Structure 1
C-alpha cells in the first residue's frame, strides 16, 4: 500500500508559474470533479501529477517552492498526456487506441479509466494504481511511472508527452478553464471518447460538468507484474548509471566510451517499444563526453524522427538523458 500520509499535493490557481499551495490531493481532485465553488473551475488551475508524504509538506512550508524537492512521491493514478503535436484528430485516434488497449490488456471496465479532453491540444488518460495495489511512495516512483507509461504507449503505437513525469510536475486540473482556448478540461466516458466526433467533444468542453470519480478497482495481477518489471528496470538503470559515473570519476573522464547501443541508434534508430529508452540512453552516453545540447540534438534527432518519435518527444528525451548524466541543456 502507499506509504502513510502520501496524500499531500499542490495546487496552482491561475498561471502555471503561480504559487504552489499545499493541498490534500484526493480532496482537491474531488473538488474539481464536483465543480465545487472553491475549485473556481472558470479559472486556469493545476494539481500535482503525483502525491507526496510528509517530507514534501515540510519542504514546501520551509522553502515556499517545489523547486529542488528530491524526496519521495507517489500517486493514485498513472497518467498519459496525448497531444500528437497539436493534431487533435490524431490525438483523438491515439487516445482511443490507448484506452482500448488498456481495457484489453488489463481486462477492466472502460469507465475505470479517467479520460479527459485537455481543453487545448489533446487528451489526458488516467489508470487507477489500485490495480497494482497502489505502490508505496518512493524517490523513484515518478521514474517507474514514466517507464511503464512509455512502455505501454509504445506497445500500442500511441504518441505521448514524455515530459510530464517530473517529480513535481503540475497537471491541468479537471474542469478547469484553459486560458488560451477558453475551453475546459472535460471528463469523457469511454463510450463518449469512442463514439463522439471531435466537434461534439469541443462543444462539451465549452462548459465544466461535474462527474463521479470511479471506485478503486482491486489489484490486477498483470498490472502488478508490469509495475514490478518497470521498477526493476529503473533500479537496474540507476545502478548502471551510478557505476558508470563512479568509473568516470576514477579515470578523470578518460574512461568515457561511445557504447555500441549509441552508435547503433545514431546509425539506424530504434523500433517501437525501445525508441524512448534508447534515445534517452544515447543522450546520456553522449553527456559523458561533455556533449553540448546542440551537438546531441544534431547527432540524434534525425534517427529519432525516423523511428517515429515526434519532434517534441525527441527534444524532451534528449534533454532528460543529458540532465540525468550531468549534461547541460
Structure 2
C-alpha cells in the first residue's frame, strides 16, 4: 500500500514530511516517533503488523530524511521542539495512539505530559529511565565521533553497540545510512547527545508522573543500553504503566529476528486493541485446531 505523503507546516519555522497509511477498516490512528538519526524507513518492520489494524502516520524530523530539504538548519532542534511537533501532528492527523522508539521516547514523554486530549494509549519502546554505564560510555564515544564528523566511526559505533544484535543485512543498511548523513545531522546529534549527558534523567520520570493514560514500555532482554530493569523505574511514577520484555532481543527489537517481530506484534496489539485482537487470535486458533482435527481424521481413515 502506498502512503499519502504531505509536507505539514508546523508553525512558521518547520516543515515536516509525513506518510499516512490509511486503512478503510480501521477505527484508530497511531503515530510513530523515530529514534536518533532515523527516518520513516526504520519502521518498515513495525508497519507490517500495524497496518492491518490501524491508520498509521510516520514522519521525519525537520533535520532528517525527506523533511531535510524543506527546512533551514541554522540551529539544533530541542526535545521541546520535537514534542511540540508531535503534538501538532497528533492534532493534524487526529491520532489516538503514539508509539516511540529509542530516543524518540524523550520527546514523546514530554508531549504526553501535556495531556493531549486525543491520545488514549502510548507505547514507549527501547527507552529507559536512567543512563547506565554502557549507555553513558556509548554516548561519550559518540560525542567525540560526532564532533569530528567521522562518518565511518559513527557507523561502526552504532552497529557495534546498540545495533550489535541486528542481522548482517540490516547492519549494512544501517551503516550505509548513518555514514552518509549531512553534516548538520551530525551537528544536531552532537548537540542532542551533549544535552542528554549533561541533564538529569529525573526529568523523564517527572514527565511520566504527569501522564494519566495507559503506557506500555517494551524493552529487549539483551539490550544492555536501555534495559528492561531500568525501564521499570517508570512504574513508580506512571499511574498506568505496563512492561513487556522481548526475549532474546536487543535494542532494535522487531528488526532483529522473526521471533522478536512476532513478540512485538503480540505485545503491541494485546495492549492497544485487546478485545478485538484477542478475539481474532482466538478465532485463528479455533480454525487452526479445526484444520488439525480435519487433517488427523483424514490420516486416520
Category of TM-score, reference length = shorter chain: under 0.3
TM-score, normalised with respect to structure 2? 0.26
Richer in strand (by share): 2
